A and B are shown apart, each in its own frame.
Chain A
Amino acid sequence: MALIEASGIDKIYRLGDFELHALDKVSTVIDKGEFVAVMGPSGSGKSTFMNVLGCLDKPTAGHYFLEGTDVGGLDRDELASIRNKKLGFVFQGFNLLARTSAVENVELPMLYDGLAAKERRSRAMDALKSVGLEGREGHHPNQLSGGQQQRVAIARALVNSAPIILADEPTGNLDTKTSIEIMELFVRLNTESNITVIVVTHEPDIATYSKRIIKFLDGRIISDTHQEGGP
């Protein structure tokens, strides 16, 4: 059973009489432990595809199976629960809660999973340690550098032991050196913890860290190539 199976996914936005095919019969399979880069120019449908994979958006037609479950039939709260337990999000703009310490940001997913405060705290501390932020637990996002903020976001994505991390332009706001550090962190999580990482990027340099590149154009997959991972 594939971890992710997309079959014939259409996403159509209706703008008055005009129909925009953001995704046009996209089918693909991603297995556990893969490191996939999703590439394409803006407007190619890669972000829409990520939103569908992230259970933030529902396809207009077609089926998306996540660990064999057809996500299309789930309601709002069931989707929230899947996002909570199976998916970790890393965004370009970090999307941490302001005025909230690093450790409390990392605790959030567990809060919505109903874990006790004590367990939340100890797991959040462990997650922060694993991304190399030991000693920064009490810092607020505005006291952390961009790279550190992105590490907090990655810790937040990891903390519920989600099998999949979805990263949307994770290095878009970071300098080259920090970008390399973050991508190496993803590689480590992929190889050491067998976490499936899907990264959306438009930078070829970033894509070289992946083992597979899916290219989008006009809502369709135009190429799907495997490569030997990492420089």
Chain B
Amino acid sequence: MINIPSTVKISLRALRVNKMRSALTMLGIIIGVGAVIAMLAVGTGASMQIAAQISSMGSNLLIILPGATTSGGVRMGSGTQPTLTMADAEAIQRESPAVSDVAPVLSGVAQAVFGHQNWSTGVQGTTPGMLNVRDWELSSGRPFTDQDVKSATKVCLLGQTVVDNLFGDDNPVGQVIRIKSVPFVVIGVLAEKGQSPNGQDQDDTIYIPVTTAQKKLFGTSFPGMVRIIMVKARSAEDLGPAEKQINELIRQRHHIGQKQENDFTVRNLTQVMQAAEQSTKVMTLLLGAIASVSLLVGGIGIMNIMLVSVTERTREIGIRMAIGAKTWDIRLQFIIEALTLSLTGGVIGIIFGVSGSKIIAMVAGWTTVVSPLSIVMAFGFSGLVGIFFGFYPAYKASLLDPIEALRYE
């Protein structure tokens, strides 16, 4: 029967005898574990930031852009031909089962004025469905309704940046602002959303009913024309079917023949962002793998020191064997020594890793997230390193010949 607490005590004593050596051996593991945790924290932080941006953009989002004009063989960029209409948007809502919300957008840049403050910003004419499409809440006030759209009322929702610039700390709801000299009643404020994935301030915007935009602000020669249509699929799985349904539907509505090119483009933004998220995850793994190498090197350091220790203590091993220590008594003694080094190093490494990632966050301004899983994994991994690299020296010690060992000077 092996007496674990006493074996632990023996191992701890042996480590205390060589404090400096134990500390230096641990340093390898400390750096390894610390690096793994800090690197994973940086990577996880980056992918979480991207995930947050994806969800701020609105989940399961498709954007339909008007197509390119072709005049005399010269093809203009996408969006140059105003082909999408309110009717297209309504048809998608009506006929595409994979779609939950549709928001046509007619946008432009305009000057908004309140009192003696003015602010130039993007004004989006849209429908009430927009708030669902973008997963956007109001922080105060009420959204505009289908009725507002139908009667083209002059009401608006303000983004937080616009509120800050026009109103400061005052409550804007119920006030009247002028957009291109047209008076609008502020009926609500959009909750703060922050930056979009490509770095735009999403809060620097004003939402108004799409009909109001068409009739009062950005009058166009094509009645019912919209710049883009934003579509939300019912779920992530519905994104594919929704894209297909929309393609078919609009081709049909625009009378596009079999061999003709689309006069519109459906973009799956979520897919693009998920690809970015995927690449960050790969990056995280890569960082973690590189950091793991230092953990491995730390483990080899433990093995090195344990081998030296076994040689130095040959006589001690001989005495223990003569007195009746069995193979596993000796093995466990050295494995526990190695394990103590690696686990203590692991705990200190975790402390260093967590504080290191906080420092990175502070100094570099990156988002770092230390996941509990990475701590558990780093701790478990350092334990495995101890057992793995401690075993060979322990095995070597247990196979010594007691007579030879007792004679060792």
A: residues with CB less than 8 A from B are: 51, 54, 56-57, 76-77, 80-81, 83-85, 89, 91, 95-100, 108-109, 111-114, 117, 156, 160
B316 at the A/B interface (Cβ < 8 Å)? yes
What 1/0 mask marks residues of chain B from 1 to 20 whose CB sits below 8 Å from any chain A CB? 11101100000010001000
State in angstroms the CA–CA spacing of A186 and B242 once bound together: 97
Residue of A nearest to B398 (CB): A76
Q: Contacting B1 at CB < 8 Å: which of A85, A114, A156?
A: A114
B326 x A97 contact (CB < 8 A): no
Which residues in A have their C-beta under 8 angstroms from that of B191?
none
Which residues in A have their C-beta under 8 angstroms from that of B304?
none
State in angstroms the CA–CA spacing of A156 and B324 once bound together: 12
Asked, given contacts A112-B324, A112-B326, A114-B1, whether A57 binds B403 with beta carbons under 8 Å apart, the answer is: yes
State in angstroms the CA–CA spacing of A178 and B316 once bound together: 25
Q: Which 10 A-B pairs have the closest CB atoms?
A: A84-B324, A114-B1, A112-B324, A77-B326, A80-B326, A95-B319, A109-B323, A56-B402, A112-B325, A83-B324
B322 at the A/B interface (Cβ < 8 Å)? yes
Residue of B nearest to A82 (CB): B324
B321 at the A/B interface (Cβ < 8 Å)? yes
Residue of A nearest to B402 (CB): A56
Which residues in B have their C-beta under 8 angstroms from that of A80?
321, 324-327
A100 x B13 contact (CB < 8 A): yes
Which residues in B have their C-beta under 8 angstroms from that of A108?
320, 323
* Interchain residue pairs with CB less than 8 A apart (16): A54-B322, A56-B406, A76-B326, A80-B324, A83-B321, A91-B406, A95-B318, A96-B319, A99-B13, A112-B324, A112-B326, A113-B324, A114-B1, A114-B3, A117-B6, A160-B324
- Shortest Cβ distance from B309 into chain A, in angstroms? 14
B251 at the A/B interface (Cβ < 8 Å)? no
Residue of B nearest to A85 (CB): B324
The winner among A51, A98, A99, A112 for most chain B CB atoms within 10 A is A112
Which residues in A have their C-beta under 8 angstroms from that of B321?
80, 83
State in angstroms the CA–CA spacing of A25 and B216 once bound together: 121
Asked, given contacts A51-B403, A56-B402, A91-B406, whether A84 binds B327 with beta carbons under 8 Å apart, the answer is: no
A76 x B327 contact (CB < 8 A): yes
B322 x A99 contact (CB < 8 A): no
Residue of B nearest to A168 (CB): B406
B: residues with CB less than 8 A from A are: 1-3, 5-6, 13, 17, 315-316, 318-327, 329, 402-403, 406
Known: A83-B321, A111-B3, A160-B324. 7 other contacts (CB 8 A): A77-B326, A80-B324, A81-B324, A81-B326, A95-B318, A95-B322, A99-B13
Which residues in A have their C-beta under 8 angstroms from that of B3?
111, 114
B322 x A89 contact (CB < 8 A): yes
A114 x B2 contact (CB < 8 A): yes
Which residues in A have their C-beta under 8 angstroms from that of B5?
117
- Shortest Cβ distance from A19 into chain B, in angstroms? 19
Residue of B nearest to A98 (CB): B316
A97 x B327 contact (CB < 8 A): no
Which residues in A have their C-beta under 8 angstroms from that of B322?
54, 56, 83, 89, 95
State in angstroms the CA–CA spacing of A218 and B230 once bound together: 103
Which residues in B have their C-beta under 8 angstroms from that of A76?
326-327
A112 x B329 contact (CB < 8 A): yes
The winner among B322, B324, B327 for most chain A CB atoms within 10 A is B324
- Shortest Cβ distance from A44 into chain B, in angstroms? 17
A99 x B327 contact (CB < 8 A): no
State in angstroms the CA–CA spacing of A176 and B402 once bound together: 30
The winner among B1, B3, B5, B329 for most chain A CB atoms within 10 A is B3
Which residues in A have their C-beta under 8 angstroms from that of B320?
108, 112
Residue of A nearest to B2 (CB): A114
State in angstroms the CA–CA spacing of A84 and B326 once bound together: 10
State in angstroms the CA–CA spacing of A80 and B320 once bound together: 10
Residue of B nearest to A86 (CB): B324
- Shortest Cβ distance from B337 into chain A, in angstroms? 15
Which residues in B have their C-beta under 8 angstroms from that of A56?
322, 402-403, 406
Residue of B nearest to A117 (CB): B6
A111 x B6 contact (CB < 8 A): yes
State in angstroms the CA–CA spacing of A109 and B320 once bound together: 8
B316 x A97 contact (CB < 8 A): yes
Asked, given contacts A95-B406, A111-B3, A114-B3, whether A84 binds B323 with beta carbons under 8 Å apart, the answer is: yes
State in angstroms the CA–CA spacing of A120 and B3 once bound together: 12
B327 x A77 contact (CB < 8 A): yes
- Shortest Cβ distance from B245 into chain A, in angstroms? 75
A89 x B403 contact (CB < 8 A): no
Residue of B nearest to A76 (CB): B327
Which residues in B have their C-beta under 8 angstroms from that of A89?
322-323
B315 x A95 contact (CB < 8 A): yes
State in angstroms the CA–CA spacing of A214 and B138 once bound together: 104
- Shortest Cβ distance from A80 into chain B, in angstroms? 5
State in angstroms the CA–CA spacing of A112 and B2 once bound together: 7
A112 x B13 contact (CB < 8 A): no
- Shortest Cβ distance from A82 into chain B, in angstroms? 8
State in angstroms the CA–CA spacing of A81 and B322 once bound together: 10
State in angstroms the CA–CA spacing of A109 and B406 once bound together: 16
Which residues in B have their C-beta under 8 angstroms from that of A54?
322
Which residues in A have their C-beta under 8 angstroms from that of B315?
95
The winner among A51, A77, A80 for most chain B CB atoms within 10 A is A80
- Shortest Cβ distance from B114 into chain A, in angstroms? 81
State in angstroms the CA–CA spacing of A83 and B316 once bound together: 16
